[in-house]
Amino acid sequence: MIVVKGSDCIKADKITIASGIPERTLMKRASRGFGDFLRTLPGRNFVFVIGRGNNAADGVFASGFLKKQVEIFCVFPEERINENLRWAIETSKRKVFFQASISRIKNSFKNADWIVDCIFGTGFRGEVKEPFKSVIQAINNSKTPVVSCDVPSGINSDTGQCQIAVKANFTVTFGYPKLGLFLPPARDFSGSVRFVDIGLKKVKGLKNIELITPEEILKKIPEREPSFNKYRAGHVLIFAGKMQGASILAGLGALKSGAGLLTFFSEKKINFPEAIHIGADTNILNYIKRKKVKAVVWGCGWGREDASLLEILEKIKVPKVIDADGIFLLKKFSLFRKLKNYILTPHTGEIRNLTSGKIVPPHSWKTLLRISRNINAPILLKGHQTAICDGKKVYINPTGNPILSTGGTGDLLSGMIAGFIAQGLNIIDASRCAAYIHGLCADILFKEKGDRGFLVREIAKKIPVAIRNIEKH
């Protein structure tokens, strides 16, 4: 899905309305999508904080789909709300407390499971003034998880600039993904982003930049008939180095994402009952051909001193996922352009060793395009809003949260990429699926139990759940 400036999304909205689609039809589509997301959240008590315009109307209308305890506080007096908000209140049959005091709102936050931010929308520009500044501060200080409607209040959806803004855990945005959600400083306020297509007319988006959506992922996830078997599900080979834990996590990623067979190549046998083990006496190239290995993972916990595999790696024709120490060794021996059919999966620290370019959006997107073209291979840059580049386009992943900020999650992701390749996807599609599902696993855990303290194995357990969620979506 293309990414556009917020102002371009507003233009698309006006063009769509002018074409004959009623404004309230678009609002209903947005609200239903927003309500669908809110219904996935656990807890019983939802507190909506709204402004006076269409963003507030979207939130109020969406609240009508919730069979939860809902309180709605409007910062404005009733006489200042627009007609769409008035219509949404009447249609949803929700009670709204107008011109609510800060103390009243704060008191309600104490019992809230979720705060829903519907104060300012896509069209917000300029400075946040009182009483909105105090309301936003109260939201951010509440320590209650937040969902923002369309754009976190206070953010310029064109530039990502903000003086003060709601810090959301999730943002559900409508029409088109807005550029400002993915630019600093706003990217640290937008949390995990969800997109709702409301049928706007096409507009010109950002050149070479797209957002990964669940609809696209659903089309790529391989279907399985009753006669499906482990050989059709594909075989992944992982080269395990000194730090076997990293390879184990990669193996979990491969199998949990759907691969049928897993082999570890290692000096010492790895305690992984579901995997095959081969040692140094194995002819690797012959094994790959004979056992129909579909994807290879190298670099996770391998070690930076061992270059013994490089000559064989050049001869392996199946797709290769290269991470961590593998990236280091490829650079050390200048093998990037000699190797074929592979993807690099660095985090921000590792990519700094490959470039002097900036790695903060939007500069990082140009940097990824340049590096990918130089090495003639795709790159997945891990981190908040993971980006995948094939030398032509950059795909931004909207899912994920701080649960993923723990050692080993990158190894899990590398294995997931290989798992999807083994099932028949090309490298880019496999990477897009893996990144989206990887982040979605963390989002599911966040909804259930909070934002910290999870083991990578717990994230891995959610992979089938995340895939099922996408299929249901």
Distance CA 113, CA 38 (A): 12
Question: How many folded domains does the chain comprise?
Answer: 2
**205, 227, 260 - which closes a domain:** 205
pLDDT at 204: 86
CATH (domain of 467): 3.40.1190.20
Q: In this predicted structure, what is the pLDDT of residue 357? A: 85
304 and 158 in one domain? Answer: no
Residue 136 lies in a domain: yes
Confidence tier at 26 by pLDDT (50, 70, 90): very high
Same domain, 198 and 244: no
Distance CA 355, CA 368 (A): 9
Over residues 107-134, mean pLDDT: 95
Residue 51, pLDDT above cutoff 90: yes
What's the confidence (pLDDT) of residue 125?
Answer: 93
Are 348 and 436 in a shared domain? Answer: yes
Q: Examine the domain organization and report whether 271 and 414 are in the same domain.
A: yes
Domain co-membership, 231 together with 380? yes
The last residue of one of the domains, among 180, 205, 230, is 205
Domain ranges, residue 20: 6-205
| 182 and 240 assigned to the same domain | no
433-454 pLDDT per residue, tens: 999 999 999 999 999 998 899 9
Q: 196 and 226 share a domain? A: no
Question: Residue 242 — very low, low, confident or very high, per pLDDT cuts 50/70/90?
Answer: confident
pLDDT greater than 90 at residue 356: no
Answer with the one of 205, 231, 253 that is the final residue of a domain. 205
Q: What mean pLDDT comes out for the span 226-249? A: 95
Contact present, 31 and 50 (Cβ < 8 Å)? no
- Per-residue pLDDT at 358: 87
Q: Per-residue confidence at 463, pLDDT binned at 50, 70, 90?
A: very high
Distance, in Å, from the CA atom of 52 to the CA atom of 94, rounded to the nearest integer, reads 15
**Domain CATH code at residue 110:** 3.40.50.10260
Q: For residues 135 and 131, give the distance between their C-alpha atoms in angstroms, rounded to a whole number.
A: 6
Q: Could you read off the pLDDT of 266-293 as tens digits, one per residue?
A: 999 999 999 999 998 999 999 999 999 9
Mean pLDDT, rounded, for 325-335: 96
Mark whether 199 and 119 lie in a shared domain. yes
The 10s digit of each residue's pLDDT in 54-68 is 999 999 999 999 999
